[in-house]
Structure 1
Amino acid sequence: MARTRALDFEDRQKDILRAAAVLFAERGYNETLLEDIAEQCGIKKSSLYHYHDSKHTILHRLIAWKIEDLAWKADAAVEAAATPRDKLHALVSTLINEYIRVPQEVTVLLTQTRHLEPAALEATAEIQNRIINRAVLLLQDIRPDAEITRKKVIAVAMLFFGMTNWIHVWYKPSGSIKPTELSAMIVDIFLDGFNNLDPARLR
C-alpha cells in the first residue's frame, strides 16, 4: 500500500527547500550533504526522501519554485500599474523587495543553477524567460519611437537586470536608503540613459 501523504506535505516540502537554500547559499551545492539539510530541518535523512528523492531534486524544485514565485509576483505588480514607467517601477520594486526578503534563496537562484542537469536547466529557463520577456515588452513600450531589434532589446533588458540582481549582496535594509528610494533611483538612472539613447543605436 502506498504511503499516505500528510495534510502538511507541501508545507514540509517548502520548509526543506528553505532550509536547503540557507546551506546552498552559504556552502555551495557540492559542499552541502543531504545529512546537512536533514540536520538543518531537524529531521532524519531518511525522512527527506518522503518529500524529495535526491539533493538534485531539492535544488531543482527550489530554483523552479523561486523563479515561478518571482515571475508571478512580477506579473501581478506590472499588470496593476498604469503607464510603462509605472510598470517598470513596479517590476523593480518587486525584484528588490524579494531579493531583500529572501537573500539566501536569491543567491541560490543566481549562483547555483550551473549544478542543474540539462533537462532541469531547460525547464527553469522557460520560467525565467517570463521575467525577461516582461522586461523586454516594457522596454519596447517605453521607446515606441525606436525600432529596437530583438538582440538589442534583450541586451538592454540584461543591462537592466544587472542593476537589480545583486542588490541583496551589498544592500543593507537597516541603512539610510530605503527600498522605495532604491527602486526609484534605479528607475531614474536606467530610464535617463535608455530614453536618451539614439534610436539608431537600438537597431
Structure 2
Amino acid sequence: MARVRDPAGYDGQREMILSNAAQLFAQRGYAGTSMNEVAAACGVSKATLYHYVRDKHDLAVRIAEEHVRRLEAVVEQVLREHATPQARMAALIRSFVAEYAMAQNAQRVLTEDVRFLREEDQQRIIGVERRVVAAFARTIAEVRGEDADSKLGKPMAMLLFGMINWMFTWMKPGRELDHEAIGEMVAELFFGGVRAVQVPPALATVELPDRPTPAREAG
C-alpha cells in the first residue's frame, strides 16, 4: 500500500527548509552556500533534503517566487480594501514594511540571487516583481492626480522601495522603534517630506547607528 503523505507535516518541513535556506543565502550568498550546509542548518540528511527540493537552484526559485507572489497578493488585497489613492498608498507602504520585516532573508534572495537562476525562472519571477512595481507606480500617479502612465510614477516607486529595503541594513529587531512605527514614518515622509514626519513616542530612547551597515559583509 502506498504511504499517504501528511500534508501538514510535509508542508511544515518544507517551510522550515525554505526558511533556513533563505537565511543561509542571505548571509553567504547563493554561490557561497552548499546543499550540505542547508541540510545541516535544517537538521536533516541530504537525502531528506532532496525529498523536498530537487537542488539548490530549485530552493532559490521557490524562495524568491513564493516571496514575490506573496507581495503581489498583498498589493491586490490593499487595492481592493482601500477606496482612495492616498489610503491605498499609505496601506501599501505600511504593508510592505511589515512584510519585509517578516521576510528579510527572502527579500535579499529576491533582490540579490535571482540573477543566478535560469533565464526562464528569472523572467517569470521578475515579471511578478514588475507587476508589483507597476501597481505602486500607478497608485503614486493617482495620488499626484496624474495619468497611470505618469513619467514620475515608476522612479518614485523605485525610490520608495530603496528607502524600505535600506532600512533593514541598520534597523535592529527588538528595540523600541519597531516596524510599525517605521512604516508610519516612511508613509509620512513619502507623502509630506521631511517636515511631515512625527516623532514616535519611543524614538527618544533609541540610539541609531552613526553609519549604515552593509547587508552582507564582503567576503
Tell me which interval the TM-score lies in, with the shorter structure as reference length.
Answer: 0.7 to 0.9
Q: CA deviation at 1:90?
A: 0.9
Q: d(CA) in 2 for partners of 1:157 and 1:2?
A: 51
CA contact (8 A) 1:38 1:44 kept: yes
Q: d(CA) in 1 for partners of 2:63 and 2:141?
A: 32
Q: CA deviation at 1:169?
A: 1.7
Matched with 1:137 is 138
Q: d(CA) in 2 for partners of 1:123 and 1:148?
A: 24
1:24-173 counterparts in 2 under 5 A? 24-144=25-145, 146-147=146-147, 149-173=149-173
Mean alpha-carbon deviation: is it higher for 47-56 or for 103-112? 103-112
Specify whether residues 178 and 51 from structure 1 end up closer, same or farther in structure 2 by C-alpha distance, changes over 3 A only: closer
Specify whether residues 77 and 173 from structure 1 end up closer, same or farther in structure 2 by C-alpha distance, changes over 3 A only: farther
CA contact (8 A) 2:141 2:150 kept: no
Q: CA deviation at 1:83?
A: 2.0
Q: d(CA) in 1 for partners of 2:30 and 2:117?
A: 10
Mean alpha-carbon deviation: is it higher for 183-192 or for 112-121? 183-192
SS of equivalent to 1:49: helix
SS of equivalent to 2:51: coil
CA contact (8 A) 1:96 1:167 kept: no
Q: How many residues align?
A: 192
Q: CA deviation at 1:174?
A: 3.1
Q: d(CA) in 2 for partners of 1:130 and 1:79?
A: 16
SS of equivalent to 1:165: helix
CA contact (8 A) 2:141 2:152 kept: no
What letter is aligned with 2:178?
K
Mean alpha-carbon deviation: is it higher for 50-59 or for 78-87? 78-87
CA contact (8 A) 1:136 1:157 kept: yes
**Unaligned stretches of 5+ residues in structure 1:** 194-203
Q: CA deviation at 1:13?
A: 2.1
Q: d(CA) in 1 for partners of 2:111 and 2:189?
A: 23
Q: d(CA) in 2 for partners of 1:175 and 1:49?
A: 38
What letter is aligned with 2:72?
A
Matched with 1:11 is 12
**Structure having greater relative contact order (Cα 8 Å, sep ≥ 6):** 1
What letter is aligned with 2:52?
Y
Q: d(CA) in 2 for partners of 1:101 and 1:48?
A: 24
Specify whether residues 186 and 72 from structure 1 end up closer, same or farther in structure 2 by C-alpha distance, changes over 3 A only: same
Root mean square deviation, CA, Å: 2.2
Q: d(CA) in 1 for partners of 2:22 and 2:140?
A: 32
What is the TM-score normalised by the length of structure 2? 0.78
The CA deviation string for residues 26-73 of structure 1, in whole angstroms up to 9 with x for no partner, is 111111111111111111111222111110010011100111112212
CA contact (8 A) 2:39 2:46 kept: yes
The CA deviation string for residues 72-118 of structure 1, in whole angstroms up to 9 with x for no partner, is 12321342223211111111111111222232222222221221111
The ranges of structure 1 where at least 4 consecutive aligned residues each deviate by more than 4 angstroms after the TM superposition are 1-6, 147-151
What is the TM-score normalised by the length of structure 1? 0.84
